[in-house]
Amino acid sequence: MSNEPTSISALIDEWATIAEFAADVGCGYEAARQMRLRESIAPGHWSKVVSAAKAREIRGVTFEWLAERHASNSKVAAS
């Protein structure tokens, strides 16, 4: 079982490739690459991300976990 990721990029790195992450969450490769680069996942993808993380036994990935990272990323962007 994986450890709890500490960032969006660490979460995406739990997959062997960005393409595998993209396939599991139902987005394109470039969208997944941008998620990793920006340290942010759009709320529209959260449900599939939570489900995919659970299927891969990645602990700690919840809507709350994603919301915390989204909020902190939004604060940085607003600065």
> How many other CB atoms are found less than 10 A from the CB of residue 68?
11
pLDDT band per the 50, 70, 90 thresholds, residue 59: very high
Alpha-carbon distance of 1 to 19, in angstroms, equals 21
pLDDT at 76 over 80: no
Q: What is the pLDDT of residue 1?
A: 46
pLDDT at 36 over 60: yes
